Amino acid sequence: MTMRITSLEQLEAVGREGLQSLYPGRVRIAVGVGSCGLASGAGEVLTSTEEAVRVQGLDAVVRGTGCLGFCQQEPLVDVLVPGKGRTVYHEMTADRAEELVGVVAQGDAKADWALCRMVAEDWIIDGSQHPLASGEAAEPNGIPLYQDLPFFRKQCKIVLRNCGFIDPMSIEQYIARGGYRAVYKALTGMQPQQVIEQVAASGLRGRGGAGFPTARKWQACREAPGEVKYLVCNADEGDPGAYMDRSILEGDPHSVLEGMLIGAYAIGAHKGYLYVRAEYPLAVQTLEAAIDAAREHGLLGDDILGTGFHFDVELVRGAGAFVCGEETALLASIEGTVGEPRQRPPFPAHKGLWDQPTNINNVKSWANVPVVISRGAEWFAAMGTEQSKGTMVFSLVGKVTNTGLVEVPMGISLQELVYDIGGGILDDKEFKAVQTGGPSGGCIPQELIHLPVDYEQLTEAGSMMGSGGMVVMDEDTCMVDVARYFLTFTKDESCGKCTPCRDGTKHMLDILTRICDGEGREGDVELLEDVGKLTKEASLCGLGGTAPNPVLTTIRYFRDEYDAHVVDKKCPAGVCKALIQYSISAEKCTGCGVCDQQCPEQCISGQDKDPRVIDQDKCIQCGVCRDVCRYDAVIVQ
Amino acid sequence: MESEPAVEILERYAGDRSAVIRALQDIQEEYNYLPKEALEMTAQRLDVPLTQVLRAATFYKQFSLEPRGKHCINVCMGTACHVRGGQLILERLQRELDVEPGGTTKDMQFSLDVVRCIGCCSIAPVIRIDDDTHGRLRQNRLPRLLRRYAEEER
């Protein structure tokens, strides 16, 4: 039976219920069913596990969980045996899952499928540690410990504290791990102004990209005249290459709701909106369930936790427009019109939704808030750099060995991110650049690999923090093509309201396209710089104001690649089709014939074991031959 | 169209001028596209000018004014997919299906679209067909994958 929580005792009672389901006193098998898990086959793994548990009569609980962050290794299956700890198995399949259940039923572990194990869990929200294994079971057994894996070692999970640790559909489990205590603390023991002061002292800055101090926004909105105030969670995570907000909403939706509750109390708002991208169906579903559960438990709605405070939220689905990540465009979209930005000031803190004072924060900013309140500003501010406190979540993707979501203290170097955590470049290729900040950011070259990552340093390097996308690029990535890629994006997504952005992005794209097509002219690079600077200066909103960044940084750091395209008509990375040719090395080719079977144009010839030859007149440079060749014999020049 | 689901959908939002996008989303979900009559009905029932409805319908990428194919293919064009060969995947699909992005095959089996990142960057390159996400793709896997969907429910 669901109960409305009206006191701390009742909150703790629900927490105990959650604890019982988190650590059920029998085997617990959790399958990672976030979007990346599902895309890797977690759905079948879950079904097969359930089936095997039933058939083999194993006394076990099977459930879903969010993403642990190591998306590369999905599907992940996590087996908790009472007193023996948690073992995380990676790259699971339906067949393996079935076999694993048999092994677990025998009281064993399957060491060669194991990624790592946990003998204790840290609860960041209250700083406590919870042992999962005792005695001999806590001793080394050949499977590396979670905190010893290079991928996890340097991480500090504040925002991702519960992802992969709880069932996102269970509010009880969230409460069990200290959830909703921070909002209770704020509502019962702090004045709204004290909450803002704590957040100010913590140094928390907006995690959506621009890094504006969160408390200052809250203060402005609190002080703004107006009876009705609104709160918005910006979950329109539009930057390509970034998916941390999706993962949080899918893996720990209550952390965001709790953050919003605390913010609402501090600001004096009673209505909130969560604006979620259309492209994230699972996040929407999980969030809807979380909102329902919070309402049923009296954590949203009237008289929250018996304190008389009231606040409720509404979920709004985006309809596919990148510009809606910009706050004024997002507000327009919530109001039901097209998402076009408007001039600021007035800032939303004074005139936002339906002209009322409105405070907007990103998903990660909200998820940080409960921890700031619970652990205190001082604890939070001890992490990070002078001006950037706490942690940042990055999606470490692209040409890096270990891909996934990582949460690290601000100020960590790119080198540590790419090499220590990321395990270096895929296939031992040469590192070229890291792209941060999505279409608003830039590319940071090898020379700056020791750069400590925080808001200021990235901006100084010509890029920006953005929402945390970090795309690693190697020797096979063409930087001119990357610039063209981003401009294709921003030109399409420009809403068209102001001329500098609408025409500037188009003009830059036209120039980049002709450079990639081998028709670049002398002076094109300088022209790009001129148009870029102008677009940056004169655009109405952040979209146009940052759109030239990928162009300007690639010119700044990779001018030689532009010159190779314009002057020599060559694409050194072998990407731009008009400037390259595929051929087959007669020395390396074994004549296996896989490429000519796969070639869609049937333009590869050669008999038996003879080296293959590509007919250049017919070749469409689709690259499938290089994809399928196991001998590295296909050369691109 | 009078007796169709659109009537029921619009009933929920009648007179709510801020509900244009939500109404269109529900209609798109029901019909797979936005039929002309439904757009006119939306304007009427929500009491907004037709131009406002059309503006929203053409501004947001989620909406389509043309009927979509039985299966919708969304090719992720996020940065991680781009650097891992997403463009080549898209081009291959264009050739296999003989349609441009935004188009639908003549037999109405497949619609091909590009999407700006579906957030599965760690297993790039990725495409989404209907509700299924396929990661770590290689273009030589595409013909078989397409056949699997084409043969479904026949």
Task: Report phi then psi at A111, rounded to 5.
Answer: -60, -40
Q: Which of A246, A320, A471 is the closest to B80 by Cβ? A: A471
Dump pLDDT digits (tens) for A277-304.
Answer: 988 999 999 999 999 999 999 999 999 9
Q: What is the ipTM of this complex?
A: 0.93
What are the tens digits of pLDDT across the range A347-381?
Answer: 999 999 999 999 999 999 999 999 999 999 999 99
Does the pLDDT at position B154 exceed 60? no
Asked if the Cβ–Cβ distance from B138 to A240 is below 8 Å, we say no
- CATH classification for the domain delimited by B71-151, as one of 3.40.30.10, 3.10.20.340, 3.30.1660.40, 3.40.50.300: 3.40.30.10
Strand partners, A400: A425
pLDDT of residue A2: 67
Which residue is listed with tokens 């790259």?
A91
Q: Hey, what CATH topology would domain A180-379 get?
A: Rossmann fold (3.40.50)
Q: What pLDDT does A466 receive?
A: 87
Give pLDDT, residue B3: 52
Residue B1: pLDDT above 80?
no
What is the band of B152 on the pLDDT scale with cuts at 50, 70, 90?
confident
| pLDDT on residue A608 | 86
Q: What is the pLDDT of residues A306-359, one digit of tens each?
A: 999 999 999 999 999 999 999 999 999 999 999 999 999 999 999 999 999 999
Report whether A3 contacts A10 (CB < 8 A).
Answer: yes
CA-to-CA distance for A324 and A171, rounded, in angstroms? 30
CB contacts < 8 A, A to B, total 164
Kindly report, as residue ranges, where domains of CATH 3.40.30.10 are found in chain B: 71-151
Number of C-beta neighbours around residue A347 at 10 A? 17
- Residue A496 contacts B where some CB pair is shorter than 8 Å: no
**Residue B22 is inside which H or E element, if any?**
helix B20-31
With CB atoms and an 8 Å threshold, state whether B18 touches A336.
yes
- Taking only the tens place, the pLDDT of each residue in A506-521 is 999 999 999 999 999 9
Tokens of B59: 């501004």
Q: Are A454 and A550 in contact (CB under 8 A)?
A: no
Task: Count other Cβ atoms within 10 Å, centred on residue A82.
Answer: 15
Residue B2 has pLDDT above 60, yes or no: no
Nearest CA in chain A to B81: A398
Contact A232, A331 (CB under 8 A): yes
Task: Copy the structure tokens of residue A395.
Answer: 């999606």
| Alpha-carbon gap: B76 to the closest alpha carbon of chain A (Å) | 9
As annotated, the residues of chain A forming the CATH 3.30.70.20 domain(s) are 581-636
Residue A467: pLDDT band (50, 70, 90) is: confident
Spatial contact of A467 and A240, defined as CB atoms under 8 Å apart: no
Q: Which residues of A179-205 are buried (b: 16+ CB within 10 A; e: fewer)?
A: bbbbbbbbbeebebeebbbbbbbbbbb
Q: Which of B82, B90, B122 to mutate to test the interface with A (most CBs of A within 10 A)?
A: B122
The answer for A 244-303 residues in CB contact with B (under 8 A) is 246-247, 278-281
Question: Would you identify the CATH topology of the domain A479-566?
Answer: de novo design (two linked rop proteins) (1.20.1440)
Taking CA atoms, what residue in A is nearest to B56? A338
CATH architecture under which domain A391-474 falls: Roll (3.10)
What's the pLDDT tens digit per position in B4-57?
889 999 999 999 999 999 999 999 999 999 999 999 999 999 999 999 999 999
Average pLDDT, chain B: 93
Residues of A in contact with B61 (CB under 8 A): 319-321
From B77, B91, B140, residue closest to A627, measured CB to CB: B140
Please tell me which of the candidates B80, B95, B119 has its beta carbon nearest to residue A35.
B119
Q: Residue B20 and residue A403: Cβ atoms within 8 Å? A: no
Which chain B residues touch A627 with a CB distance below 8 Å? Answer: 85, 138-140
Residue A137, pLDDT score: 87
Q: Do A36 and B120 touch (CB under 8 A)?
A: yes
Type of residue numbered A45: V
Does residue A545 contact residue A536 with C-beta atoms inside 8 Å? Answer: yes
Nearest to B60 among A319, A469, A627 (CB): A319
Instruction: Tell if the CB–CB gap between A241 and B78 is shorter than 8 Å.
Output: yes
* Beta bridge pairs of residue A372: none
From the list A279, A319, A598, which residue is nearest B63 (CB)? A319
A131-170 pLDDT, tens digit per residue, is: 999 888 888 889 999 999 999 999 999 999 999 999 999 9
The helix (H) or strand (E) run that includes residue A444 is strand A442-445
- Enumerate the CATH 1.20.1440.230 domain ranges in chain A, comma separated: 479-566
Rg (chain B; Cα; Å): 18
Interface contact flag, A246 B119, Cβ < 8 Å: yes
Q: CB-CB: which of A35, A398, A622 is closest to B139?
A: A622
In B, minimum Cα distance to A43 occurs at B132
Are residues B121 and A241 in contact, defined by beta-carbon separation less than 8 angstroms?
A: yes
User: What is the average pLDDT across A33-46?
Assistant: 94
Q: How far apart are CA A603 and CA A595, in angstroms?
A: 10
Best CATH choice for the domain A581-636 from the list 3.30.1330.90, 3.30.70.20, 3.40.50.12280, 3.30.470.30: 3.30.70.20
Which residues on chain B are in Cβ contact (under 8 Å) with A600? 92, 95
Distances, alpha carbon A348 to alpha carbons A222, A257, A307, A618, in Å: 12, 21, 29, 57
H or E segment to which residue A549 belongs = helix A549-566
Q: Which residues of A36-63 are buried (b: 16+ CB within 10 A; e: fewer)?
A: bbbbbbbbbbbebbbebbeeeebebbbb
Q: Which residues of A touch B116 (CB under 8 A)?
A: 238, 240, 279, 320, 322, 489, 493
The three-state secondary structure class of A175 is: helix
Topology adopted by domain A14-149: Glutaredoxin (3.40.30)
Residue B67 identity: P
pLDDT classification of A1: cutoffs 50, 70, 90: low
> DSSP of A302-354, one letter per residue?
SSGGGSS--BEEEEEE--S-GGGGSHHHHHHHHTTS------SSSPTTTS-GG
Residue-level pLDDT at A278: 86
pLDDT digits 0-9 by tens, A71-130:
999 999 999 999 999 999 999 999 999 999 999 999 999 999 999 999 999 999 999 999
The residues, ordered by sequence, that sit 6+ positions from A257 with a Cβ below 8 Å of its Cβ are A290, A291, A294, A299, A300, A313
pLDDT at residue B78 tops 60: yes
Instruction: Flag whether the pTM goes above 0.90.
Output: yes
Q: Which of A397, A479, A575, A624 has the highest number of chain B CBs within 10 A, making it the mutation to test binding with B?
A: A397
pLDDT at A3 (0 to 100): 79
Q: Which residues of A touch B133 (CB under 8 A)?
A: 35, 38-39
DSSP assignment string, A385-429:
-SSSBSEEEEEEEESBSS-EEEEEETT-BHHIIIIIIT-SBGGG-
A601: distance to nearest CA of chain B, Å? 11
A333 reaches B (C-beta below 8 A): yes
